[in-house]
Copies of this chain bind each other. A is one copy, B any other.
Amino acid sequence: MNEIKIFAPATVANISCGFDVLGCCLDSIGDEMIVRKSADKGVKITKIVGEILPFETEKNVAGVAATALLEKLKTKLDFGFEIEIYKNIKPGSGIGSSAASAAGVVFAMNKLLGEPFSKLELVEFSREGERLACGSPIADNVAPALFGGFTLVKSTNPLKVIELPTLPDLYAIIIHPQIEIKTSDSRAVLPNTVSLEDATKQWANLGSLVHALHMKNYELFSESLVDFIVEPHRSKLIPDFDKVKQKSIQAGALGCGISGSGPSIFTFCKGMQIADNVTNVISEVYNKTQIPYHMYSSKINTQGVKILVI
């Protein structure tokens, strides 16, 4: 096997009560990547389509993740890798654009190498891409991108990822308003400290949400999708967030929150009919704002990165 084409999925992190730990993997939004063995050693990015991103390996998240993998290989390779990136996920959208690139490339290389690494090790390599993209080796997007479904990052040092069950009839609707929120702004609004009372409510809800996933209990899942800590602050940076939330829940959504650090907003819905209704009401809200936007509707991807052509 000398070449592989893969689908690198978008992901939703910071899911309501699961700030910094809970994410899920999407099915119909993602990048494509071709990775092939090359005579030249090392990693070379040969093509980037869809976005203007650096070709220099050390400045590109895929390049950095790929290099992290190569450095951990015990045997010295007499070949290298070429990477083509077909970008569909907009950088800065809040649905794991950098995570997709990082997770996708290490998944592909691992396949071409005969799978010497576990998924958890691939998460470790991908985190190095995240470190480049956002200054910190966060794992809550790369974990669901690689494992699929819902994942809980129990700890980052040592890295421990828990694969949670998913709800079979769950759809995620994402609206990505075409605005830029500076990382510095989305961090600046985060409180350093939170009240013990709010923190307690938050962990009660996260515990409850994990239980709901195990029990396939949509109602409890819905009741648990509450964020007392981060959303009240960050939602102010997203135009009409409150209206999107209110209208989508009126239209039957199970919950609504900020995807990653925004500006994308996610909602979860049970079944395609409600998902369609929610898509419509969110569009109506945003059509009035004059802000351009993209919308996506996706089932939960329980597989993570997928092989397209091998």
List A residues at the B interface (Cβ < 8 Å). 17-22, 152-155, 160, 162, 164, 190-196, 199-211, 214, 220, 223-224, 229
Contacts and interface: CB of A to CB of B under 8 A. Distances in A.
Contact of A223 (B154, B195, B196, B210): B154
Contacts of A18: 203, 207
B211 A155 contact: no
Given A214-B214, A223-B160, A224-B154, A21 B207 contact: yes
B202 A203 contact: yes
Given A22-B207, A152-B208, A199-B229, 17 more contacts: A17-B203, A21-B200, A21-B204, A21-B207, A152-B204, A154-B204, A154-B208, A160-B223, A162-B208, A164-B211, A192-B195, A193-B193, A193-B195, A199-B202, A203-B203, A203-B207, A207-B207
A154 B207 CA distance: 8
Given A152-B207, A210-B207, A200 B162 contact: no
Contacts of A193: 193-196
Contacts of A196: 190-194, 229
A209 B164 CA distance: 12
A196 B202 CA distance: 11
B204 A155 contact: yes
A200 B19 contact: yes
A8 to B, nearest CB: 25
Nearest to A230: B196
B21 A155 contact: no
A160 B155 CA distance: 28
6 contacts: A153-B204, A154-B204, A190-B196, A196-B229, A203-B206, A210-B210
A161 to B, nearest CB: 10
A206 B190 CA distance: 22
Contact of A206 (B207, B220, B223, B224): B207
Contact of A199 (B154, B160, B199): B199
Candidate in A21, A207, A210 with the most chain B CB atoms within 10 angstroms: A207
Nearest to A196: B194
Contacts of A20: 200, 204
A204 B164 CA distance: 13
Contacts of A152: 204, 207-208, 211
Candidate in A203, A205, A206 with the most chain B CB atoms within 10 angstroms: A203
